[in-house]
Structure 1
Amino acid sequence: MKRWAKDSKGKRYFYNVNGVKGYMATGWLTDRENNTRYFNPTSGYMTTRWATISNKKYYFYSGSGVAARSVFLTDKKNVTRYFTSKCFMAKGWATNKKQQKRYFDPNTGAMYKGFKKIGSDTYYFYSKSGVMATGWVTNSKKGYKYYFDPSTGVMATGTKTIDGKKYTFGSNGVLDTNPSTTTATSSRTIKNFLANALLPVGKTLYVWGGGHNWSDATRKGISPKWKQWYDSNSSSYNYRYYMDLSEATEQKGLDCSGFVGWSVYQIMQSRSGGPMYTDVSGNLGSLYSGKGMGTVVSQAQLASSNWKLYPGDIGYNSGHTWIVLGQCSDKSVVILHCTPNAGVQISGTPTPSGTYGSQAIKLAETYMSRYPGASKYDYHESSGNYIRNGAYFRWNRSTLSDPNGYLNKTANQILADLF
């Protein structure tokens, strides 16, 4: 009698030959070559592909029925799993003979790759091997440095002493390479917010998506790449030629919401590498108010206040966002924003009734003329009537204080003080 048999449906059976009689194999069976198979205890069918046996998962090759053993298998979706020396699929933490650690999803068995949070801690697993990182790790493409505890693999955040030296890491684990650039909480004032927002004026062009990449959105200070891009272009610059949204392009400048998000970061965070304050323009009010930083003022509320705006207010609509530098006696406002024409600049709005030739526009023309780029690029010192367009985010006084009395100053007085 043959040891193997197949029925009309293609199901395979195995028979142990014992003298004259043959006994159908059931359950686990390991042959002389150490190949392990499993046969249904009732029907004797040889198991193929996936099977759960005694609460453990196994994989049996479809042709031979041999159980996967001591092997990594990667499926069509690029999910990698490991099958132990006892053939069952690995779950949770696993350590090999070299003391290298990996982690496999407790439900699916998928091997973790990249940054992963397990419990309250963050780890990094190398993308090819799945091995847990320890010690210093550098992202070669972006230049970011991370540190993972040599024993536990937990990613370092905050201030850590490593080999006797203190290092500071952001909440995302990136090493702060410029720890000397800080803003103390006591320096969170309206004046400092506006002074920081003025820094990119005349130095930074409009770049689609600029300021939305993590490195710039959480940067303290101006990126040297912004000024390099600004200086290397001519008056014919057109941002539409640079809309590929690659990180290399985004790092060359800022767009409107990237500028506002970067400006807010300067006053809210003491070091590079913290949480981002950048989003699309229409979401900024809810983003900042949701963090408890202030409140949103609607058009109806503005109208009821006779269009009263304050220095530091952040205006926004679905397509643009801007920072109020100050209001004039004719109710027009001087604003800071990043425009497609020439980048970060000072502009003036018309009056709420739409009258151009306003006091704010004249002030914007006066102060923008101080920048060398004013004769090179197409700065528009007169903006749209943003007073009557969009909502405004207004800072809580507990978030930004006003020891300099800016809330009671006109735009002219504020500009004179800042310049």
Structure 2
Amino acid sequence: MNRSLTDFLRTAMEPVGSTMYIWGGGWNSEDNGSGEDAKIIGVNPNWKKFFISQGSDYDYKEHRYEHGNGLDCSGYVGWVMYNIFENKSGAGLNYVTNAENQGKLFAEMGLGEYSEEFSGVKPGDIMTSNDHVYIVIGECTDGSILFVHSSPPGVQICGTPAKSGLYYSCATELAKKYTQKCFPEWYKKFSYCHRGMSYLTDFSRFRWYPEIMPDTDGLYSKTPEEVLEIILRKG
């Protein structure tokens, strides 16, 4: 199978705007690895049905371990990995582990490099902390990061503050603009696209080896908005 950084990010966008955050979503019932939702090809149609049934007052604490209704942060990244590397015929590898160890796991698989220090993040980097994981879309000129993740209320595009601490950053404005434009039903319920400074300070980085995930479309040299335009384009 030929795969690229663009394919990886396009796959990561598939559940955006229609998949709720479910604590334990994507994990198995033993809570020690990939469950059924993290080992299916394509988006589970039940995720969108559950999203449609929820209002703007959604409280993920009331829906813990409702397998089949959505994904948590590491379950989401595990689903993306499964859809990139596996096919319909195989049982597949286990890509779901706790957020802190997920980047380390992918490095141990020989897919890229893991570093506890990060600066100058690039599209497709997987950022991990002791309780969360997100996928970088790009870094803006003000140092803010545009990214995609599963965090209450669900799978969405978000932005960090600028490195200066400015809350309304380039990334948060882009997240708001494209959520409103491309995922209007989500935006009507959940317009909040900001995340805090910890996303710039408390995370380690996994970066793909170029031979594993080649940057065939030159995403590394493009602005976050240009990257979004490419990965939201079909085919």
TM-score, normalization: structure 1? Answer: 0.51
The alignment partner of 1:369 has SS state of helix
The alignment partner of 1:312 has SS state of coil
Aligned partners of 1:260, 1:352: CA distance in 2, in Å? 26
> How many Å apart are 1:230 and its aligned residue?
0.7
The aligned residue for residue 413 of structure 1 is 226
Write the mapping of 1:9-408 to structure 2, written as runs, cut at 5 A.
185-186=1-2, 188-213=3-28, 214-243=35-64, 245=65, 249-271=66-88, 273-299=91-117, 302=118, 307-340=119-152, 342-370=153-181, 371=183, 372-377=185-190, 379-385=191-197, 386-408=199-221
Aligned partners of 1:354, 1:396: CA distance in 2, in Å? 32
**Identity of aligned pairs, percent?**
37
TM-score, normalization: structure 2? Answer: 0.90
> How many Å apart are 1:270 and its aligned residue?
2.6
Higher helix proportion: 2
Higher strand proportion: 1
Amino acid at match of 2:215: D
Larger Rg computed on CA atoms: 1
Q: Is the 8 Å Cα contact of residues 352 and 388 (structure 1) preserved in structure 2?
A: no
Aligned partners of 1:265, 1:409: CA distance in 2, in Å? 27
Aligned partners of 1:363, 1:205: CA distance in 2, in Å? 21
Alpha-carbon displacement from aligned partner over 1:325-365 (angstroms, at most 9, x marks no partner): 1111222111001111x200000111233222211111001
Q: Which has the higher contact order (CA 8 A, sep 6+)?
A: 2
The aligned residue for residue 35 of structure 1 is none
Amino acid at match of 2:165: G
The alignment partner of 1:194 has SS state of helix
Amino acid at match of 2:23: W
Q: Which runs of 5+ in 1 are unaligned?
A: 1-184
> How many Å apart are 1:210 and its aligned residue?
0.3
Q: How many residues are treated as equivalent by the alignment?
A: 222
The alignment partner of 1:250 has SS state of coil
Aligned partners of 1:330, 1:270: CA distance in 2, in Å? 40
> How many Å apart are 1:223 and its aligned residue?
0.4
Amino acid at match of 2:24: G
Moved over 3 A (4+): none
Aligned partners of 1:237, 1:215: CA distance in 2, in Å? 24
The aligned residue for residue 31 of structure 2 is none
Aligned partners of 2:25, 2:130: CA distance in 1, in Å? 17
